[in-house]
């Protein structure tokens, strides 16, 4: 009897575990701020958008790196198949569409992507690349951004000359040549979204490639808080408790107090950590002060998360007394 009870308990636990929801984060900044742990996270940059797997790591106390996974991290081999008809390999980044990629890139300091490309005997005019912004290489050595005429920038960086002779020549029927490095396009063009391949129909012709993750660095947001309308004895130095990443240090903000937040970089999303067990919409108004009597109201969602137009400064106005433990920006 105990055996069967334990068996069914095990099956029940497995079923429950299999349906455990995966936590989605707006960005690597949110994931790392909340978990304080490097790792792979499900990132959803837009509230109504799609998700993708992103590796999020801290570089140091002020900067991090986000590495977006793609569908071509395992080597693709083309040989004895496409001679005069192109094989078009559409690169996907999780479930992201173009709008999700655009939002993922927003606010990043720098972005890059690397490829390992091996060509045996296939002419380069039959190898083409299409990037996110529409930049198109009609052949592999068709760089147009002035970075390097080769499709990767390694040889140009090493020689200090954007017109350097490319390593890969693509001699028809020749031996295998390998090119590895970062794409020679502007950051706005990234990531790569299509690879077109042909002239690999014979036994002595082959193309093999592996695409690395799309990598972007970012700066962790820091901000200052101070009171702009104070109906009590609340002092600005008391507000440091709301920016210490410690939910155990909370302060009560009295009614009709207004707090201003100034960030080091632009942001759109944030969250108020509070002891309230329900929506804080009726407690607080969040807005951007445009002029003396004009303001843009930010949207407040469940769990006191909020969204504003891109800004570096917002105000919090209390309708009711409210205990706040921390404020996070993403």
pLDDT tens-place string over residues 269-281: 999 988 876 678 8
In a domain? residue 121: yes
- Apex 116 CA angle, 110 and 118, nearest 5: 150
Task: Please give the Cα distance from 125 to 237 (Å, whole number).
Answer: 65
pLDDT of amino acid 92: 98
In a domain? residue 163: yes
In a domain? residue 154: yes
pLDDT of amino acid 144: 84
Closest CA to 168 of 202, 131, 125, 211: 125
Q: Which pair of structure tokens corresponds to residue 180?
A: 């590895």
Pairing, β 39-43 against β 24-25: parallel
Closest CA to 28 of 85, 111, 87, 88: 111
Q: Which pair of structure tokens corresponds to residue 126?
A: 């039959």
In a domain? residue 161: yes
Q: Which of helix, strand or coil describes residue 159?
A: helix
Task: Please give the Cα distance from 142 to 190 (Å, whole number).
Answer: 16
Contacts for 202 with CB less than 8 Å, ≥ 6 apart: 80, 83, 121
In a domain? residue 284: no
Task: Please give the Cα distance from 231 to 252 (Å, whole number).
Answer: 13
In a domain? residue 205: yes
Q: 267: number of CA atoms within 13 Å, CB side? A: 29
Instruction: Using 50 as the pLDDT threshold, list the residues of the chain that sit under it.
Output: 1-5, 7-20
For the chain, the domain total comes to 1
pLDDT of amino acid 217: 97
Which domain, by its residues, includes 77? 70-95+110-212
In a domain? residue 276: no
174 contacts 120 by C-beta, under 8 angstroms: yes
Q: Which pair of structure tokens corresponds to residue 100?
A: 């999700």
Whole-prediction pTM: 0.82
pLDDT of amino acid 231: 62
In a domain? residue 143: yes
pLDDT of amino acid 14: 40
pLDDT of amino acid 21: 55
């Amino acid at each position: 009897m105990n055996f069967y009870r334990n068996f069914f308990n095990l099956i029940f636990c497995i079923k429950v575990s299999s349906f455990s929801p995966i936590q989605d984060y707006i960005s690597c900044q949110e994931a790392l701020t909340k978990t304080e742990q490097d790792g792979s996270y499900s990132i959803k940059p837009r509230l109504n958008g799609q998700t993708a797997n992103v590796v999020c790591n801290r570089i140091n106390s002020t900067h991090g790196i986000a590495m977006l996974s793609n569908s071509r991290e395992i080597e693709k081999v083309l040989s004895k198949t496409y001679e005069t008809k192109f094989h078009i390999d559409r690169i996907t980044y999780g479930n992201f569409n173009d709008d999700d990629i655009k939002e993922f890139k927003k606010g990043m300091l720098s972005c890059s992507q690397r490829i390992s490309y091996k060509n045996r005997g296939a002419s380069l005019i039959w190898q083409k690349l299409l990037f996110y912004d529409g930049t198109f290489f009609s052949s592999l050595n068709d760089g147009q951004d002035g970075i390097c005429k080769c499709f990767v920038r390694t040889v140009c960086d090493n020689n200090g000359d954007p017109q350097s002779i490319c390593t890969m020549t693509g001699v028809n029927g020749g031996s295998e040549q390998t090119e590895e490095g970062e794409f020679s396009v502007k950051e706005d063009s990234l990531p790569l979204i299509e690879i077109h391949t042909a002239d690999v129909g014979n036994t002595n012709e082959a193309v093999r490639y592996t695409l690395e993750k799309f990598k972007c660095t970012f700066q962790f947001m820091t901000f200052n808080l101070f009171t702009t309308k104070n109906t009590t004895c609340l002092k600005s130095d008391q507000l440091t408790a709301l920016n210490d990443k410690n939910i155990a240090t909370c302060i009560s903000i009295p009614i009709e107090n207004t707090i201003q937040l100034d960030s080091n970089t632009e942001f759109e999303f944030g969250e108020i950590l509070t002891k309230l067990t329900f929506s804080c919409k009726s407690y607080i108004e969040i807005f951007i002060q445009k002029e003396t009597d004009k303001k843009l109201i930010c949207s407040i969602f469940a769990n006191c998360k909020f969204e504003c137009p891109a800004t570096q400064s917002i105000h919090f106005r209390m309708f009711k007394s409210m205990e706040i433990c921390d404020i996070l920006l993403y």
